[in-house]
Structure 1
Amino acid sequence: MAHSVLLALGMMCLTPVWAAQEIRVGAAHFPPYTVRPESGADTGLLPQLLEALNRLQRDYRFVLVPSSIPRRFRDFEQGRVDVVMFENPAWGWQDIAYSAVDMGLEDAEVFVAKRQPQRQQHYFDDLSNKRLALFSGYHYAFAGFNPSPKYLAQTFNAVLTYSHESNLLMVLRARVDIALITRSNLAELLSRDPQIQHNILVSQRIDQIYHHYALLRPQAPISGPQFADLLQKLRDNGQMNAIFAPFKIALVPVRTASPQTLP
């Protein structure tokens, strides 16, 4: 009896008194934030951010769950994921319950054309009669945030792909007139091939500013204020800047009141 009691006490001492709660983070292909997560490769800025969050504390363990741009809404509603990041409430979330945390990050969508003699910034003023290359599933401000491929193809003579790099190549080969590219992704592409800079004209006109939010399910194991506190600690220790600044993603003041939808 005494031996059994001592053995049980010993096992209790070896058992952790707590276990980190798992937070499932949805990952849809959105370069450079997340790059083809369905392939199993931990590439992009989201895996770096999750690694920094996991190093920061031991109460939560953030894990990446592959999703897709159209499927992420269903995954979120059905509880397959607890959090989605780098989102905007205008991108199809109007009828879905969530709480939002301002990530204090801003990116932008810019227009890119092939550089030609006499072609100046006014070339981007009028998109009519121009062939556009767009990223399938994205919500563009110039199109009223309507992501329908049929609508974009018929209304704006658009070609839709799943690659900013492919869209940029179509511009360089004169297969389309203009591509819309995320500023951060353009910075990554130019870092890989600096010579491209001499062959393209980048618009001063911005289609939209990406002010990024993290959206949390109401039943998520972590609350909005708790997650906001973790992000603030990463800002304070310089990790947010180290991850995002190289891609021209700006750290901006966090807005005091984040939008929240609870239909």
Structure 2
Amino acid sequence: MVLKCSPIQLAHSLLLTLGMGWLAPVWAIQEIRVGAAHFPPYIVRPERGTDTGLLSQLLAALNQLQGDYRFVLVPSSIARRVRDFERGRVDMLMFENPAWGWQAFSYAAVDMGLEDAEVFVARQHPDREQGYFDDLKGKRLALYSGYHYAFAGFNASPKFLTETFGATLTYSHESNLLMVLRGRADIALMTRSNLIDMLGCDPQAKAQVMVSERIDQTYRHFALLRPQAPIQSQQFAQMLQKLRDNGQLKAIFAPYKIAVVEM
């Protein structure tokens, strides 16, 4: 037996179905793609898919804080991150600074209220004092390729750094520190938080290095958002403020002596 519906019944069923659709949530969780370039301890080898850096902890805290947005990590690199940002492969980059080569791009900057520093590291020597770091001329420098250093006028060009300062460029702070410890370089420049992390895991190395009181730069971390990002800068700033207020930012960053400053 075939049941037939009258036109009125059919119309009623159609309206009921549409009405149920209207009652369903009309929004969906929006994905925010966050670029991740190796920058320990903030971001640690994201291309391996097992990032254990501070960015992963921060994204987890942001996702737990609210349900409108889902922040996901997208692997990039120091050299490629600008292109990924410009082409829309990522919506946001964190732990950046407008002084690091962003002058030609459009973005909204959100002050994350986090401060770190770049310090000089040399090997301990009986006759070596803090004055050793005053003049870099004639000293063999070990630098991280792609980083912007204040002593070099924030010029990250490998050609400029090698020709002007005779620097050796690598993609590893660990390699740079080993070069200093083994006498293959005189001075390495390192992110203070990363140095603290590395020396905390290697007490023997800690006893062999001298860290400068001179700071190459103290920098404030910003998040840079593309103009077309699904989230507005004001919304993201409010999320960070909530994490600051509930103590989660301090719990994530204070162990590495990354200052969480009041906004």
- Say whether the fold is shared (TM-score over 0.5): yes
Aligned to 1:259: none
Amino acid at match of 1:140: Y
Q: Kindly state the Cα deviation for residue 75 of structure 1 after the two structures are TM-superposed.
A: 1.0
Aligned length: 254
State which of 13, 17, 20 in structure 1 corresponds to 2:29.
20
Q: For residues 248 and 27 of structure 2, what CA distance do their matches in structure 1 show? A: 27
Q: What is the identity percentage for the equivalent residue pairs of Structure 1 and Structure 2?
A: 73
Are residues 1:200 and 2:209 paired?
Answer: yes
3-state SS, counterpart of residue 207 of structure 2: helix
Amino acid at match of 2:246: N
Are residues 1:119 and 2:128 paired?
Answer: yes
Aligned to 1:89: 98
3-state SS, counterpart of residue 126 of structure 1: coil
Amino acid at match of 1:229: Q
Q: For residues 248 and 203 of structure 1, what CA distance do their matches in structure 2 show? A: 16
Amino acid at match of 2:112: M
Structure 2 residues without counterparts, runs of 5 or longer: none
How big is each residue's C-alpha offset from its partner over 1:138-170, in whole Å with a ceiling of 9 and x where there is no partner? 000000111111111111111111111111111
Q: Kindly state the Cα deviation for residue 243 of structure 1 after the two structures are TM-superposed.
A: 0.6
Give the structure-2-normalised TM-score: 0.91
**1:58-69 pair list within 5 angstroms:** 58-69=67-78
Amino acid at match of 2:126: P
Are residues 1:104 and 2:113 paired?
Answer: yes
Q: Kindly state the Cα deviation for residue 39 of structure 1 after the two structures are TM-superposed.
A: 1.6
What is the CA RMSD across the aligned residues, in angstroms? 1.9
3-state SS, counterpart of residue 212 of structure 1: strand
Q: For residues 123 and 84 of structure 1, what CA distance do their matches in structure 2 show? A: 36
| CA separation of 1:116 and 1:14: change in aligned 2, threshold 3 A | farther
Q: For residues 10 and 219 of structure 1, what CA distance do their matches in structure 2 show? A: 32
Aligned to 2:230: 221
Q: Kindly state the Cα deviation for residue 42 of structure 1 after the two structures are TM-superposed.
A: 2.3
Q: Kindly state the Cα deviation for residue 8 of structure 1 after the two structures are TM-superposed.
A: 4.0
| Higher alpha-carbon deviation: 36-45 or 184-193 | 36-45
Aligned to 1:34: 43
Q: Kindly state the Cα deviation for residue 195 of structure 1 after the two structures are TM-superposed.
A: 2.3
Q: For residues 220 and 145 of structure 1, what CA distance do their matches in structure 2 show? A: 28
| Higher alpha-carbon deviation: 56-65 or 192-201 | 192-201
Larger radius of gyration: 2
The runs of at least 4 aligned residues of structure 1 exceeding 3 Å deviation read 1-17
Q: Kindly state the Cα deviation for residue 16 of structure 1 after the two structures are TM-superposed.
A: 4.7
How big is each residue's C-alpha offset from its partner over 1:119-149, in whole Å with a ceiling of 9 and x where there is no partner? 0000000000000000010000000111111
Structure 1 residues without counterparts, runs of 5 or longer: 255-263
**1:31-180 pair list within 5 angstroms:** 31-180=40-189
Give the structure-1-normalised TM-score: 0.91
Q: Kindly state the Cα deviation for residue 5 of structure 1 after the two structures are TM-superposed.
A: 5.7
Amino acid at match of 2:189: L
